[in-house]
Amino acid sequence: MYLLTRFPILILVLAATACSVLTLQPSDFGWPVEAVLPVDKDGTVSEERYSIEFNTVALFYEEFKDSLSYMNKELRMIRNNDGFYFITSTDFKNVYVFNASNGTLKLENKILISESGINKPAFNQRPPYIELIADGRKFNLTKEGIEGGNK
């Protein structure tokens, strides 16, 4: 009788243990320095060091409303500790935050930096932030936006 009352509990415990997900933590997905990626004639950028490649035509169209605005441009990109990609370029008004999702980069946020566009942007890893330096100003960025105001 004792075994019959404990058997269902034992089965439930074993089933719950078998269904648990292996989690490796802490994990750090951040890139120590930004990648400066020239856009090729087809609108694609590629970074061998981090094994990433994607087409930028839609991104440049989103920013400039011009389907050929990617020509002779380069992107600045960095990845934060949580795995979000921060992307911008000279003359962009925004920093775009993407998350990798099923073989795509999915837009998570678009952060307005300057209505007139930014000049010579550069990213730095400053945990817990991504620091953007542009036009003599520094911005502490998270996937949600600008933290702590402009400096």
Q: What is the pLDDT of residues 67-78, one digit of tens each?
A: 899 999 999 999
Report d(CA 48, CA 31) in Å as an integer. Answer: 13
Q: What is the mean pLDDT of residues 87-99?
A: 98
Pairing of strands 74-79, 35-38: antiparallel
Structure confidence at residue 102 (pLDDT): 92
Categorize the per-residue pLDDT at 148 as very low, low, confident or very high, splitting at 50, 70 and 90: confident
Asked if 124 contacts 133 with a C-beta cutoff of 8 angstroms, the reply is yes
Question: If you compute the radius of gyration of the chain from its CA atoms, what whole number of angstroms results?
Answer: 22
Average pLDDT, the chain: 90
Categorize the per-residue pLDDT at 18 as very low, low, confident or very high, splitting at 50, 70 and 90: low
Structure confidence at residue 26 (pLDDT): 87
Structure confidence at residue 17 (pLDDT): 57
Say whether pLDDT at 60 is over 70. yes
Entry pTM = 0.84
Structure confidence at residue 20 (pLDDT): 80
